[in-house]
Amino acid sequence: MGILGGLEDSILEWFDQFGIAALALLSFTEAIIQPVPPDLMYIPQLINAQGSMSIVIWLWLVVTVSSVAGSLVGYWLGKKWGRTLLDRYASDSAVIKLEALTQRYGTFGIFIAAFSPIPYKVFGWVAGMGEMEKRPFIIAGLLGRGLRFGVEALLIGIYGDKVLDGLAWFVDHEVLLGASLLAIIGIGIISWSWWKGLAPIVEEE
C-alpha cells in the first residue's frame, strides 16, 4: 500500500509539471498502460473550478475524450501484444468479468465495462486482442467514461455546495437519513452480489 501510494504521488507530481495539459496526459496514458487513475487529478481540479460551469464542462470533456483516445492506443497494443499484456499486468478476475459482460450483454456490456471498476486499459487490450469492432468500442467508451466522469463533475464541480447542503438537511432529518442509508446499503448488496456472480456462460456440448 505504501509503495503504491508513493508511486502514485511520484506519477502525479511528474504529470503536474505540464500544467493545463496534465489532466489530458494522465487520462490518456492511464487508458494505455500506467496505473494512476485520472480521478486523483480530476477531482481536485473540479473542486478548484466549482461554480464555473464552463471550466467544469471543459475538464469533463478533456478527461473523457483523452481517456477514450488513449484506449484506442490500448486497442492497438492489445491487437499486437494482447496476451503478453494481460498475463503481465491484468488480473484474471478482470479479464473474466470483461468476457462475461460482453458475452451476456453484447454492446451494452461494453458500456458497463467502461463504467465499471475494471481497469479501462484492460478493456482496450481485450478489445484489440479480440478485434472488436471499433465503432461500438468507441461509442461505448465515450458513453461509459463520459457518464463516470460526468457524475463527478455534477456532484463536485457544479452541485458541490448543494450536495453538502442536502447532506446537512438529511442529518437534521434522522429518519429519512436512516431510510436512505438502508436503501443505499440494499442496492449496494444487490449490485455486489450480481458483480461477484458475473461469469461467462459455459455452453454445453
Give residue-wise pLDDT tens across range 57-67.
999 999 999 99
Question: Is 190 within the bounds of a domain?
Answer: no
Please give the residue range of the domain that contains residue 79. 2-161
Question: Is 100 within the bounds of a domain?
Answer: yes
Q: Number of folded domains in the chain?
A: 1
According to the 3-state scheme, what is the secondary structure of the chain?
A: CHHHHHHHHHHHHHHHCCHHHHHHHHHHHHCCCCCCCCHHHHHHHHHHCCCCHHHHHHHHHHHHHHHHHHHHHHHHHHHHHHHHHHHHHCCHHHHHHHHHHHHHHHHHHHHHHHHCCCCHHHHHHHHHHCCCCHHHHHHHHHHHHHHHHHHHHHHHHHCHHHHHHHHHHHHHCHHHHHHHHHHHHHHHHHHHHHHHCCCCCCCCC
Q: What is the pLDDT of residue 1?
A: 44
Q: Please choose, from the candidates 80, 82, 81, 77, the residue with its C-alpha nearest in 3D space to the C-alpha of residue 99.
A: 82
pTM over 0.95: no
Question: Is 82 within the bounds of a domain?
Answer: yes
72 — pLDDT class (breaks 50, 70, 90) = very high
Question: Is 186 within the bounds of a domain?
Answer: no
Question: Is 195 within the bounds of a domain?
Answer: no
Question: Is 15 within the bounds of a domain?
Answer: yes
Give residue-wise pLDDT tens across range 86-141.
777 777 777 777 777 777 776 677 777 777 767 788 888 888 887 888 888 888 88
Distance from C-alpha of 96 to C-alpha of 112, rounded to nearest angstrom: 14
Of residues 71 and 115, more confidence is placed in 71
Give residue-wise pLDDT tens across range 12-49.
666 666 656 888 988 999 888 887 888 888 888 888 88
Q: What is the pLDDT of residue 105?
A: 73
Question: Is 179 within the bounds of a domain?
Answer: no
Question: Is 187 within the bounds of a domain?
Answer: no
